[in-house]
Amino acid sequence: MVKVSTDFDGGAVSIISAEQADNIQLEINKDNKSCTRQWFYFAIESTSDPLQRIRLVNADKVSFSGAWQDYQAFASYDNQHWFRIDTQYLDGELMLTLETTAEKVYYAYFVPYPLTRHSALLQQVAAMPAAQLEVLGQTAQGRDITLIRLGSAAAGAKKIWLIARQQPGETMAQWLAEGVISQLASHFAAQRGDSVPTSFYIVANMNPDGTALGNHRTNANGINLNRHWATPDPLLCPEVYWVKQAMLQYGVDAFIDIHGDETLPYNFMQAETQHPFADQLKLALAELDSHFQTEYDYSNVAVGCGAGSCGTSCGQQKATSFVQQQFGVASILLEASFKPLQSAEQSRHWDHEAAKQLGANLANTLLAICSEID
Ligand SMILES: [Zn+2]
């Protein structure tokens, strides 16, 4: 017996055939209302053959054509502990192979960050004395858009904004955000007074509807949030509308928008326009965390679009350009990889735990240099 299931938060794949565990054929889904196609997350139960071989037969139709080169998928036996597995891209198909040690195995494009974990994180934060939660509004499907405020309440405090996961398939963005939040929380809990007059405004999950639906880049209405910062429609993309309102209300002194990049085997930052604080942040973070580097970014490595890419929403405003134009401050895109990292011609391990650690190191770096924000 072979059973393929996706009936959980963020689950997404379609079944072509699943008679034998060593010859399962699946298709990567499109987002619910968009032509984007990239994210997969499913479970397979098999009582017969311990060898599971899964072919994602439309892998050549995804939005990012370079995504499968040197890529390794994730698997888990308990939906908690995840590891990379043997993954081959051949003749337009992505083949995942695992000699299993349990009957049920979960597979995913990157380690999922489900809404249950998001809720648990918000509950933890709510209990912290140095933190405040503010529900800014609701998504189309009625989920809260929640802003976390951490740090100094002083009127003159510098305001550093971080948002993550505008594109819900980029789950590493929220692992990173969790690392930032945990580290800031313990810093501010241990601290007496406002020796660092800085306040952090964090939206750890910009797209909870897309998270639940198993979308890769869009919300429940098929909107790519990071193309709608100029005039966000409160009904079509309330996520952007409410977060933008909060930015205008509270002000922004520095901004980081956390994403995942499908193609590049590097973690990097790219500022909207050159800014001394952004330069300083990059160098200091690279010093502290060997999973982060400053050599490669979009300015020197080309990224190609795939057969399933859709340009309908291109050309409209991204979050980093809105912040740069509105506030004239350091406005930074942080991209983390889906792939094992490349460094000095070697492959390096990269997963959700390393993403959390990078987040913690980012928090420490920001705390160390925040007095330099002008
Ligand atoms: Zn992104």
Let me know whether 12 and 55 are in one domain: yes
Contact 75, 105 (CB under 8 A): yes
Residue 267 pLDDT:
98
Question: What is the domain range of residue 67?
Answer: 2-108
Q: Pick the more confident residue, 311 or 52.
A: 52
Distance 311 CA to ligand 1 centre (A): 15
Residue 312 pLDDT:
46
The answer for residues whose C-beta is within 8 angstroms of residue 112's C-beta and 6 or more apart is 9, 10, 41, 79, 171
78, 108, 138 - which closes a domain: 108
Domains contained in the chain, number:
2
Residue 313 pLDDT:
44
Provide, rounded to the nearest whole percent, the portion of the chain with pLDDT above 70.
95
Please give the average per-residue pLDDT across 149-170, as a whole number: 94
Report the alpha-carbon distance of residue 357 to residue 337 in Å, rounded. 14
Distance 353 CA to ligand 1 centre (A): 19
Let me know whether 56 and 102 are in one domain: yes
Q: Pick the more confident residue, 256 or 152.
A: 256
Please give the average per-residue pLDDT across 341-352, as a whole number: 87
Nearest to 320 by CA among 311, 310, 335, 330: 330
- 34: number of CA atoms within 13 Å, CB side? 27
How many other C-beta atoms are found inside a 10 Å radius of the C-beta of residue 324? 20
279-333 residue pLDDT tens:
999 999 999 999 999 999 998 887 777 766 654 444 579 999 999 999 999 999 9
Residues near ligand 1 ion, CB 5 Å cutoff: 167, 170, 259
Checking if the pLDDT of 193 tops 60, the result is no
- 3-class DSSP assignment, residue 139: coil
Distance 67 CA to ligand 1 centre (A): 13
Distance 170 CA to ligand 1 centre (A): 6
Checking if the pLDDT of 192 tops 70, the result is no
pLDDT, mean over the chain: 94
59-108 residue pLDDT tens:
999 999 899 999 999 999 999 999 999 999 999 999 999 999 999 999 99
- 3-class DSSP assignment, residue 144: strand
Checking if the pLDDT of 178 tops 70, the result is yes
30-50 residue pLDDT tens:
999 999 999 999 999 999 889
Let me know whether 53 and 202 are in one domain: no
Residue 232 pLDDT:
96
Let me know whether 56 and 163 are in one domain: no
Catalytic one among 170, 178, 262, 335? 335
Structure tokens at 303: 């990224």
Let me know whether 288 and 176 are in one domain: yes
Angle at 90 between CA 88 and CA 95, to 5 degrees: 40
Angle at 286 between CA 284 and CA 292, to 5 degrees: 145
Structure-token match 């490349």, residue found: 342
Residue 130 pLDDT:
83
63, 82, 108 - which closes a domain: 108
Let me know whether 153 and 84 are in one domain: no
Distance 166 CA to ligand 1 centre (A): 7
Let me know whether 147 and 267 are in one domain: yes
Residue 105 pLDDT:
98
Residue 346 pLDDT:
78
Residue 303 pLDDT:
73
Confidence of residue 190 (pLDDT cuts 50, 70, 90): confident
* 372 labelled catalytic: no
Please give the average per-residue pLDDT across 163-175, as a whole number: 98
Report the alpha-carbon distance of residue 268 to residue 333 in Å, rounded. 8
86, 108, 130 - which closes a domain: 108
Give the lowest-confidence range in 61-75, 192-206, 244-258, 316-330.
Answer: 192-206
Let me know whether 61 and 93 are in one domain: yes
Let me know whether 6 and 101 are in one domain: yes
Distance 154 CA to ligand 1 centre (A): 33
